Amino acid sequence: MNKKMILLNPGPVNITERVRCALLQEDLCHRDTECAELTLDIKERLISVYPKAAKDYEAILLTGSGTCAVEAMLATLIPKDGKALVVNNGLYGEKIVTMMTTHEKSSDTVTSQWYDPINLTEVENRLNQDSTITHIIAVHHETSTGRLNDIAKLGKICKNNNVALLLDCVSSFGAEAIEFDVWNLEACAITAQKCLHSVPGLSGVIVKRSVFDTRSSAARSMYLDLYAYYKRQKQGYFPITQAVQVSYALREALLELEDMGGWIARHRGYAIYSQKIRQTLQKLGLETILAEQYYSNMLTSFKLPANYTYEQIRDTLKKSGFVIYGGSWEIKRDILRIANMGNIQPDDIERFLECFHRLLFHGV
């Protein structure tokens, strides 16, 4: 394959040559000071993506994908004598429910249909009925449908009830607003290979620093214990061998984000792309799954157009150099998803939309 594929799947994303070249730096021992400096630099830059978080929060880096970060966050931060309420309206909410069972955490769930918003009324009811709930866990951007959940309202509920919020921000960190203090956010899970435009291999959890001083770890896992990482990473070291070359790339991707104007600039860029994709494909007759105002800026879900299977559309577009995404689980047969994260140029979006037009009207 010599043609560059444009990845319109929700991560891993296309990276720039700048980030790709960063992967090719010298070999390093993970116990050397150069490596520790690299880690400390990444931690500092990560926490500064949202400047308001810099003071009271700590970025913990993990070697693993986004799921690793979400699982480490829950395993470490839901206390043995605590209880969590999981707010679930999609695939990533389902995964959190499974993790809670796996780690034998005490939890209840407020579930909505995948195409529906999170059920805030029910969250309030449960909090009124059950004073043992210490944490609420939710997904910021539910990538399975493209819905940006109403965390502003959920966060307000958390603040008013003095309940800590844990968020899966794996597909939103770096491109959507995150209000750390206002939402009573105790921690959020993030990853390198989505809105941060790096390669897969490193993820992280942004944790309120006071947690480490006032509670002990609840993790029943050695690898996923954030306290162990917190302690060693004060000096820039990991308790295990981290993904060293991937760290070079992540630092470069963070520098690149700073150079382009930070998360707000990335947010604006994504907004232009996602609106263009929605408007053009709607003109071609496709229907979106959600109403316009509920979408994030990085992904749109569409009903499959009549007389096509997802595989036909995927394979035809792939021949033209574009990778799109389907549905998961129970909505597998119903939808297609088009993400617009990563190093994508306006001209790539234009060509993609032309290809989609050709596919619908000429079958190729």
C-beta of 277: minimal distance to ligand PLP in Å?
A: 18
Given 14, 39, 63, 65, the residue binding ligand PLP (CB under 6 A): 65
Q: In the window 108-147, what residues touch ligand PLP (CB under 6 A)?
A: 139, 141, 143
Are 209 and 57 a contacting pair, CB within 8 Å? yes
* Of the residues 171, 288, 296, 316, which one makes contact with ligand PLP according to CB under 6 A: 171
Scanning residues 180 to 219, which ones bind ligand PLP (CB under 6 A)?
191
Pick the closer one to ligand PLP by CB: 66 or 174: 66
Point out which span in 66-74, 244-252, 336-344, 345-353 binds ligand PLP (CB under 6 A).
66-74
Residue 62, H or E segment: strand 57-63
Rounded CA-CA distance 207/332 in Å is: 34
Nearest CB to ligand PLP, comparing residues 10 and 342? 10
Tell me which long-range contacts 31-37 makes (C-beta under 8 A, separation of at least 24): 31/237, 33/236, 35/236, 35/237, 35/242, 35/244, 35/247, 36/235, 36/236, 36/237, 37/236
CB of 45 to ligand PLP, least distance (A): 20
As a whole number of angstroms, the distance between CA 102 and CA 94 comes to 13
Residue of 50, 92, 270, 295 interacting with ligand PLP (CB under 6 A): 92
Q: Which stretch in 111-119, 164-172, 179-187, 350-358 sits in contact with ligand PLP by CB under 6 A?
A: 164-172
Dihedrals phi, psi of 190, to nearest 5 degrees: -140, 170
CA-nearest of 185, 162, 163, 190 to 175 is 190
Closest CB to ligand PLP among 71 and 225?
71
205 near 226, Cβ under 8 Å? yes
- The least distance separating ligand PLP from the CB of residue 76, rounded to whole angstroms, comes to 17
88 scored as a contact of ligand PLP (CB under 6 A): no
Give the residue, chosen from 8, 11, 164, 277, that forms a contact with ligand PLP under the rule CB under 6 A.
11
CA angle 80, 204, 215 (to 5 degrees): 30
Q: Which residues pair with 6 in a beta bridge?
A: 322
Binding flag, residue 297, ligand PLP (CB under 6 A): no
Dihedral sign of CA atoms 146, 84, 77, 328 in order: negative
CB of 67 to ligand PLP, least distance (A): 3
Nearer to ligand PLP by Cβ, of 74 and 170: the residue is 170
CA-closest candidate to residue 77, choices 190, 172, 243, 188: 188
- What are the residues binding ligand PLP (CB under 6 A)? 10-11, 65-67, 70, 92, 139, 141, 143, 168, 170-171, 191
